[in-house]
Amino acid sequence: MNRRLLRLAAAGFSLAAAAAVNAPASASAGQAGGATPTASGSVPFACTPFRPSAPEGASVESVTATAVPAGTFQVPGSPPLGGGQVPDVPAHCEVTVTLTHPGANDHAKVQIWLPESGWNGRFQAAGGAAYAAGNIGSVAAAVKQGYAAATTDAGVDTSGLDSSWALDGQGGINAALLENFASRSVHEMALVGKQVVDGVYGHTAFRSYFNGCSTGGRQGYLEAQRYPTDFDGINAASPAVNWNQFEVATLWPQVVMSEQHTYPTACEFNAFNKAALKACDKLDGIADGLISDPNRCDFDPRRLIGAKVVCDGKEYTIGAADAEVVRRIWDGPRDGNGRRLWYGLPVGADFGPLASSTTTDGVTTGAPFIVPAEWVANFVKKQPGFSSANLTYPQFEEIFRTARTEFDPVIGTRDADLSAFRDAGGKLLTWHGDADPVIPTAGTVDYRKRVEARMGGSAKVDDFYRVFLAPGVAHCSLNGADDLAALTAWVEQGRAPGVLHATLPTADGRKVAREVCRYPMVSRYAHGDPNAASSFRCVKP
């Protein structure tokens, strides 16, 4: 008998149900696997406050359970994480387990939602964004797809944009909450969530998945690095790994503009991206509004000096200072000796988030992106009122090195040794947009290369960890992707994904079907309709 069937049967599934969940995965992420397992002798579904065992070093402070009828879920809060709706969420049980750690005075809430019927037998954990450790909207969406799902708030802000919890009453780092946010709470959520699933349904989930983007992507990598047996599959998109490099590096555009005393308008910045697209679009064999391999785009922004652009009815002439600002932003931060500190904004990515400015009474100053600005102010400088708008090059370099020294062991999430995750049979899938304006795509490639160097090369790493780079795609915005279904088929059927099917945005506002290639392959036009995915092939760069 198949070893997987024996393991499922031991977990409480009938052999018939175990065989069913071993069937091929369907195209739907929510129904991948093609079956809804049932348990032989499982307990009747009851929405009761099941009390799990506390993870090591923690205690259970409280447990509540609420039966919720089917309907539309209004996600609490405001964007980026809140404010939306998830329609047609089925009837489910919401269990909230609050954990605390001795001496920390923290209260980390783990929320587990369990569908009353139609459970697909799987557990899915949802990651967070920015300074939020979790996302309850993603939990609602997962339950709608048939999962028992969980997330955690780590005892910190849930809006994603508030890191005022960083400091304790004495002006030092709140080490307990930082540990929660950086690593502890996601691991504890995995342990507690799976216990609650077992307690409510009467048997364990037969597969466990993590699903997150940005901070959620970083959490997924952290799990693979430190807690390799928590999840069978990890879907970690646009991952915020190399935290202290990329987070501080995203202030580099502000430093450049301040030091060059030049603040191009959004229209002027856009002119450079249009010129780069015109120069590099055809490198993939056809002008289709996408730069398929930004690494090959060697457009020099100085070629645009003297060009006229019209913005809101006003004509601007691109000057040498404008071109130098763009050149340095694309190149990325360097130290006083010209050595690269980290990677710059990808060519073709929107300058807006990181290179914003504001003009008051005729005086223009920088407007730093809130996430790195708060990281530097609250954590690195420990001065909540500190402004990153006018940093000099030496000040920036000092902050960069201080952040790495103090916080890399806590939240760096850059350990390239994934051998324990590989040996546990885990699979890690990542996609990252080539036009991500807030987390440089090159950082994800850098991490992947370091894993290859440590673990035997590309082919061996591909056995358990694959990266897909999506042309034209911004931060956490790959539409129509089948990433979770691809991961499920890989974990449950051994079908490693060669491509991801998705819809990509072109520079002229169209949406085109494409197969996103597995790194290091890149897309190249072969023949036929340029709007059809079948007209392109993945080739070596």
- Cα-Cα-Cα-Cα torsion 447, 449, 450, 456, nearest 10 degrees, comes to 140
- Six-digit token pair at 233? 């599959």
Given the residues 106, 436, 482, 483, the one annotated as active site: 436
Find how far residue 403's CA is from the centre of its chain. 21
Q: Please identify which residue in the block is written with the tokens 């780069």.
A: 276
Q: Is 197 helix (H, G, I), strand (E, B) or coil?
A: helix
138 included as an active-site residue: no
Q: Report which DSSP code applies to 181.
A: I
Contact between 75 and 158 (Cβ < 8 Å): no
Question: Choosing from 138, 163, 208, 214, which is the catalytic residue?
Answer: 214
What tokens were used for 361?
A: 């009474």
Pick the catalytic residue: 92, 203, 432, 475? 475
Residue from 266, 270, 268, 261 nearest 364 by CA: 261
475 among known catalytic residues: yes
Cβ–Cβ under 8 Å, residues 106 and 176: yes
* CB-based contact 276:347 (threshold 8 Å): yes
What secondary structure does DSSP assign to 6-47, as a single string? HHHHHTTB-HHHHHHHTSPP-S-TTTTTS----BTTPPPP--
Question: Who's near 428: CB < 8 A, 6+ residues apart?
Answer: 220, 221, 224, 233, 234, 236, 418, 421, 464, 465, 466
Burial of 433 (0-12, 13-18, 19+ CB in 10 A): buried
CB atoms within 10 A of CB 209: 26
Residue whose C-alpha is closest to residue 431's, from 370, 503, 329 = 503
Q: How far is CA 482 from the centre of its chain?
A: 16
Place of tokens 């997987």: 4
Q: Which residues are catalytic?
A: 214, 436, 475
